[in-house]
Structure 1
Amino acid sequence: MRNAEVALETALLTHGLPWPENLATMEALLKAVEEEGARPRPIGVVGGRVRVGLEREELVRLAQGGADKASLWNLAALLAAGKDAGTTVAATLHLAHRAGLEVFATGGIGGVHPVPFDESADLLALSRTPILVVASGPKSVLDLEATLERLETYGVSVVGFRTDRMPAFLSPDSPYPLPARVETPEEAAALYREARALGLGGVLLFNPVSEGLSFQEVQAHVEEANREARRLGVGGKALTPFLLRRLAERTGGRSLEVNRRLLLENARLAARVARALAVE
């Protein structure tokens, strides 16, 4: 029996939540994975070195501010410059696969934005990296229908965990049907094994948050926040943080509570899938 291990991204730590909530949330994720019988492996860049399985002092260093955000297009440059960085979904996928990990837990994936030509590197990374990723859907600020279409185009194996419809990050449901469904971690592990045997890329296991916000409410807030962003000229890298911040304000902090809940639930499910894979 192999070790059950779960990769965790650290952009959540460096850019997702403020200090000290970011560190407290990461520590809760580590504990959740351990409680489910798996080993958590948070991945980041410290002093220009890739670290797979960050120690607590390294997590604190990243969480306290000043670190960059590492995606695939700037990862090599950050290493060469000796920087600290939290890894995005795309960078974590790549580094986790290089380290031999097969399961990765995150909150929401990046995808297609309403702004033309603005697409996350997460999508291409998912298509070419044979890892099972547990997420609660694409981030709520995205064009969800276009993101699901792009996942199909890229040949990503998309499956719902006890759901027939794509969860929308903060919302456990959406109007968009999924092509496959599993009921147990063991079934998810079996599907991943088939995808791996076929030489396919990633398996995206969508896990709906147990208690979230309604799809209609979130979309109304997102549309208003997008209108505000256009008025203020907010775009590029600043757009997603701006929209998520406005979502938190408009929901009275409820979106942050849901975000923390789904992160923990995804970490627990990922650990269970990792345990099922470890019996090979």
Structure 2
Amino acid sequence: MDFLAETALLTHGLRSISNEELRSAWTVSRPCLAWVERGTLRVGTMEEYLPFRSRGEEVGRIDCEHLEDALKSGASGALTASGTMAACHRLGVFLAVSCGIGGIGDIRGEELCPDLPALVRYPVALLATAPKDMLDVPATFGWLWQHGVHVAGSECTGYLFHSTCVALDEGLAGYGTAEAVRRAAERGLLLLRPIPEEERIADLSILHAAISAGKQAEALGSYYHPAANGEIDRRTGGESSRMQLRSFLANVQAALELN
């Protein structure tokens, strides 16, 4: 087991993707999906995970700050990127796989998303797509660089949209083997594989509507990201969910190729 894949996106973020579609798209036979069920850290196959996904409305999201409490209290929840990194650390795994990640922003409780400190705290690399578009992306990368985290990938121009433009440290060429990633993870490593720009959503008004939906959910005491994701999904006729699933699957495949 050389990597774990997060389940927060699969559980709460892909509103238009059914269990059957997810089952059909998933080609990985090894257990690599990580979640918490009744206080037990589970690592399983897609078939083992899908019954948990079916209860998505009943379970929360668990980040690295809350993993230990969830395990002690018997809680259930999907793991975010940082929660997956914490799970990797517990299990001696050197790589976590995600899609859109958190950063610096004005989301309540995530002004500094735990995804960033996790890259400093754990000797675990994170392979992801990009920080989410509603964040302050330059500030996000600035925080990482300030704390010694190395960021590899092509220029970051956004996640689902073309929403920013930040040059990164270097390309991915030096991280094509598991050993190279393992060594770099010791000092903090974020690997980014962006969605091709021609596939992204061109209408930035959809992003603004998503931010508004996330803020409304936040004001009601609910989760920001599923609400924002759901609004983008609704306004794109489900294409944003399919786009994120393709990117997540590509990231998992890239992790497989390291092993």
TM-score category (smaller protein) = 0.7 to 0.9
- What is aligned with 1:154? 147
**Alignment length (residue pairs):** 254
Tell me how far 1:78 sits from its aligned partner. 2.2
Give, in whole Å, the separation in 2 of the partners of 1:167 and 1:22.
Answer: 31
1:81 aligns with 2:73: yes
Q: Tell me if structure 2 keeps the 8 A contact 1:112–1:119.
A: yes
Residue in 2 that maps onto 1:5: 2
CA distance in structure 2 between the partners assigned to 1:185 and 1:82 by the alignment: 38
**4+ residue segments displaced more than 6 Å:** none
Structure 1 residues 152 and 64, CA gap change in structure 2 (3 angstroms): same
Q: CA deviation at 1:58?
A: 4.2
Over the residues paired in the alignment, what is the CA RMSD in angstroms? 2.9
Q: How many angstroms apart in 2 are the aligned matches of 1:96 and 1:233? A: 30
User: Aligned residue for 1:200?
Assistant: 187
Percent identity, aligned pairs only? 28
Whole-Å separation in 1 of the counterparts to 2:16 and 2:236? 21
Task: Return the alpha-carbon distance in structure 1 between the equivalents of residues 163 and 134 of structure 2.
Answer: 15
Native 8 Å contact 1:46 1:58 kept in 2: no
Of 243, 250, 254, the residue aligned with 2:239 is 254
Shift of 1:170: 1.9
Counterpart contact for 1:43–1:96, Cα < 8 Å: no
Give yes or no for contact 1:171–1:208 (8 Å, CA) kept in 2. no
Q: Is the 8 A contact 1:19 1:63 kept in 2?
A: no
Q: Which amino acid in the other structure matches residue 79 of structure 2?
A: T
User: Is 1:243 the counterpart of 2:228 in the alignment?
Assistant: yes
**Aligned-partner residue type, residue 133 of structure 1:** L
C-alpha distance in structure 1 between counterparts of 2:87 and 2:130, whole Å: 22
Opposite residue 99 of structure 2, the aligned amino acid is: G
Report 1:63-82 matches (<5 A): 63-65=53-55, 66-82=58-74
Separation in structure 1 between the aligned mates of residue 212 and residue 77 of structure 2, nearest angstrom: 31
1:46 to 2, 16, 37: 37
Question: Offset at 1:255?
Answer: 1.3
Q: What does residue range 169-248 of structure 1 map to in structure 2 within 5 Å?
A: 169-171=159-161, 174-183=164-173, 186=176, 189=178, 191-196=180-185, 199-201=186-188, 203-210=189-196, 212-214=199-201, 217=202, 219-227=204-212, 232=216, 234-235=218-219, 237-248=222-233
TM-score scaled to structure 1, two decimals?
0.77
TM-score where L is the length of structure 2? 0.83
Describe the shift of the 1:19–1:74 C-alpha distance in structure 2 as closer, same or farther (beyond 3 A). Answer: farther
Q: Return the offset for 1:184.
A: 6.7
Alignment gaps of 5+ in structure 1: 276-280
- 2:13 maps to 16
The match for 1:130 among 120, 123, 130 is 123
The question of whether the paired residues in 2 share the 8 Å contact of 1:69 and 1:85 is answered with yes
